[in-house]
Amino acid sequence: MTPQEKLRKCYECFKNKIDFVPEVALILGSGLGALADEIDIRAVLDYKDIDGFPQSTVLGHKGRFVFGYMDGVPVVIMQGRVHYYEGYPMQDVVLPTRLMKLMGAKVLFLTNASGSCNPEFTAGDFMLITDQIMNFVPSPLIGANFEELGTRFPDMHEIYDKDLREIVIKTAKDLDIALKQGVYIQLTGPNFETPAEVRMCRMLGGDAVGMSTACEAVAANHAGMKIVGISCVCNLGCGLTDNPLTHDEVMEASNKAAPLFKKLIRGSVVNIHNAL
Ligand code: HPA
């Protein structure tokens, strides 16, 4: 089966089970999954019930789409994302993103947990993603072009939509939530970086480093979605502190930040909806 056929099959499967048109698609990072339980849920679709859908294997990630209204806005939420380090080809990693586009979503709201490479950032900071570097993982657009989704050589000069960024900045201000801005770098993971790699990320212009998001943004941009992304900086990058890093520490930090993060996301979604 070609990747295009696989996507089509997943879409048919969704269409047969769910009658809901989302406006905003959200992908929730580690520790944020509970946001999906706070919306007015209308339908749920487990990844395991979608033929050909990649299954998430990460601890702390559920594996399902949740459909419903977030403060009145029709959304689809990916509770648990698919990561490249799980061993899936990049085309599979972004299949859910493309699927949410086919479901009707116009906006992709990306969230993640990251480590800092900007020495001015601290654990618990929220960073609005202004731009990204993803050259350390293969482009999800490699292979036959999905003509029905977008062009062979898509422009990426404003991958994170400027108007949506302004909305998030204003929302954070109104809610009195501190918001940094910066460039996100995606590395493959699953190992955390070495101190030399964090220094490299910094030299390349990165502010936060993680193992997701940028590939999804490329696929969504190709498919004509508007994209907004916020990273929760859960820890200082390796080498910026002497402590060894653990997934538990990342989860603890993201759980701690979650209430405020959820508030910022909900407020932003409503304001984005009102501006569409
Ligand atoms: N590096 C990469 N990914 C991460 C980190 C990190 O320090 N923290 C949370 N996700």
- Give the list of residues 6+ apart from residue 117 with CB closer than 8 angstroms, or none: 185, 198, 199, 201, 202, 206, 207, 208, 209, 237, 240
Structure tokens at 177: 């939530």
Mutational pocket test of ligand 1: of 211, 243, 252, the residue with most ligand atoms within 8 Å of the beta carbon: 211
Q: Write b or e for each residue in 249-274: b if 16 or more Cβ atoms lie within 10 A of its Cβ, otherwise e.
A: ebbebbeebbebbbebbbbbbbbbbe
CA of 49 from ligand 1 middle (Å) equals 30
Q: Is residue 224 left, alpha or beta, with left meaning phi > 0 and alpha meaning psi from -120 to 50?
A: left
Query: Catalytic one among 30, 56, 116, 118?
Result: 30
41 C-alpha to ligand 1 centroid (Å): 31
Residue 200: partners with Cβ closer than 8 Å, 6 or more residues away: none
Active site residue 247: yes
- pLDDT > 70: percent of the chain: 98
Q: Which residues have any ligand 1 atom within 6 Å of their CB?
A: 113-115, 192-193, 209-211, 234-235, 237, 245, 250
Q: Which atom of ligand 1 is nearest to the CA of 254?
A: 9
pTM of the model: 0.96
CA-proximal residue: ligand 1, atom 3 (nearest): 210
Query: pLDDT tens digits for 71-108?
Result: 999 999 999 889 999 999 999 999 999 999 999 999 99
Q: Are strands 107-116 and 226-236 parallel, antiparallel or unpaired?
A: parallel
Mean pLDDT rounded to a whole number for the chain: 94
Protein residue whose Cα sits closest to atom 7 of ligand 1: 115
Pair of tokens at residue 235: 């820890």
Question: Which amino acid is located at 246 in the chain?
Answer: T
Nearest CA owner, ligand 1 atom 9:
114
CB 218: neighbour CB atoms within 10 A? 24
pLDDT surpasses 70 at 60 = no
According to DSSP H, which parts of the chain are helical? 3-17, 90-93, 95-103, 162-175, 195-203, 214-222, 247-275
Is residue 11 flagged as an active site residue? no
CATH for 3-275 is 3.40.50.1580
Instruction: Report pLDDT for 116.
Output: 96
How confident is the model at residue 249, as a pLDDT?
A: 87
Mutate to test the pocket of ligand 1, among 234, 247, 252 (most ligand atoms within 8 A of CB): 234
Active site residue 61: yes
8-state DSSP, 140: T
Higher pLDDT, 155 or 252: 155
Contact 264, 167 (CB under 8 A): no
